[in-house]
Amino acid sequence: MRLAFIVSHPIVPGMLRKATFLALVPLILAGADVPTQGKPFYTVRPCPGVDLSRSMPAVRRLFADNPETRAVLITANGCPVLKAYAPGYSDANRFISWSMAKTITGMLVGALVTDGRLKLDAPAPIAEWHKPGDPRAAITLRQLLQMESGLKHIEVGNPVEDSDTNQTLFVSHTQAMAAAAIAHPLETKPGSAFRYSSLTTIILAEIITRTLTDSHNPRARAKAYTDFARTRLFAPAGVTSFVLEFDGAGTQIGGSILHMTLDDWGRIGGLLLDGKAADGRQVVDPAWLAFMKTPSPANAEYGAQLWLNRPGGAEGKPTLFPGKGPATAVAADGHLGQLVIASPDSGPGRGLVVVRLGNTPDSRNRPLMETLGDVVAGFDRQENRR
């Protein structure tokens, strides 16, 4: 889901301002492959049982017809069959997640549920909601994950500066984003309606932090979160480039902002296939991954912090590309066309991962999604084409 932010890059007064700046500046390191001027730079390698030919025209359209594609990665059965960069980008870059961060947050919540430290159907452990007479005490962790909390929220305002997300991330609440999100009142009964909300995922990030530490020190809170993310998710998956951003209170901006290289986004896509790293290690519990991929009761195209390749959406407009590629395809989807697509029933073996990173305005999002659907459909297995 893309958001209409009022600035292109956030200024967050947290502990990682310097790291954030470095992550946003294109870095060209000695020895890195640098695209030729004016044309995308493609690296294609042969992979056993993989036929790229049916998808290659759509891949080229990603660069030619969709402003502004910066990077594309296709991995089939764990083999990186194609990597492509627009001029000025390379393996040295970290790319911002925007709302793809929600899927990472969902995985981290899952690790705590798997460990027995959080319970999916228990009231969400937010002390501020558990005061006498507060109806928000009924909100469960499951409902937060499925965007069915019932909390009042404006994701994209008209005008855009009226959106709760922009006000919280960039204007009024940068020192304490979770506190601002937690303070929102109920608008609908929990579990009765779908409302996409970046602030809901910030609440989930705060739940992770409170589960890991009792400290109120921002640096200690940020360290606890970073250490947990590294040891339980990123390191086992082989992800080394991650940069997490935090607000002034030490809450990870789990709905919107982290940074990784193209290859590491591909590794996250591999986890979305079967929960396993490239070396076969089980990183995400299969039961949790199945839950993330299960349609939420109020919106069949959304699971738990993850988009599904199914019909639905506002005014009947789907978010992904149902009808192209398998219905089992899923995606971490971010503002301005950041996509990590995982399709376990495409291509050979484990399946297909497609990563697309760029800067495409909302008005061009639908054509971009259709082109990505053509990329995925080009890898359809024979049984899926019948």
144 near 184, Cβ under 8 Å?
no
Which pLDDT does position 37 carry in this prediction? 53
Q: Is the pLDDT confidence value at 383 over 70?
A: no
Q: Is the pLDDT confidence value at 162 over 60?
A: yes
301: left (phi over 0), alpha (psi -120 to 50) or beta: alpha
Q: Is the pLDDT confidence value at 26 over 80?
A: no
Q: Is the pLDDT confidence value at 284 over 90?
A: yes
Give residue-wise pLDDT tens across range 288-316.
999 999 999 999 999 999 999 999 877 67
Domain assignment present for residue 213? The answer is yes
Domain assignment present for residue 326? The answer is no
Average pLDDT over residues 81-95: 97
CA dist list (Å): 132 to 136, 137, 178, 203, 319: 10, 9, 21, 21, 39
pTM above 0.85, yes or no: yes
Q: Is the pLDDT confidence value at 11 over 90?
A: no
Task: Name the percent of the chain lying above pLDDT 90.
Answer: 80
Burial of 56 (0-12, 13-18, 19+ CB in 10 A): middle
Number of domains in the chain: 1
State the maximum Cα–Cα separation within the chain, in Å, rounded to a whole number. 64
Which residue range(s) make up the domain with 199? 101-217
- Band the pLDDT of 18: cuts 50, 70, 90: very low
Q: Is the pLDDT confidence value at 386 over 60?
A: no
Write the CATH number for 127.
Answer: 3.40.710.10
Q: Provide the CB-side half-sphere exposure for 108 (13 A, CA).
A: 29
Domain assignment present for residue 198? The answer is yes
Average pLDDT over residues 6-18: 35
Domain assignment present for residue 169? The answer is yes
d(CA 307, CA 369): 13
Average pLDDT over residues 104-124: 98
Which pLDDT does position 312 carry in this prediction? 83
Average pLDDT over residues 170-191: 92
d(CA 203, CA 342): 26
Domain assignment present for residue 178? The answer is yes
Domain assignment present for residue 172? The answer is yes
d(CA 325, CA 370): 11
d(CA 74, CA 78): 9
Q: Is the pLDDT confidence value at 191 over 70?
A: yes
- Band the pLDDT of 3: cuts 50, 70, 90: very low
Which positions ≥6 away from 243 have C-beta within 8 Å? 16, 19, 20, 23, 94, 258, 259, 260
Q: Is the pLDDT confidence value at 20 over 80?
A: no
Domain assignment present for residue 275? The answer is no
One-letter amino acid of 190: P
Give residue-wise pLDDT tens across range 227-236.
999 999 999 9
Task: Name the percent of the chain lying above pLDDT 70.
Answer: 88
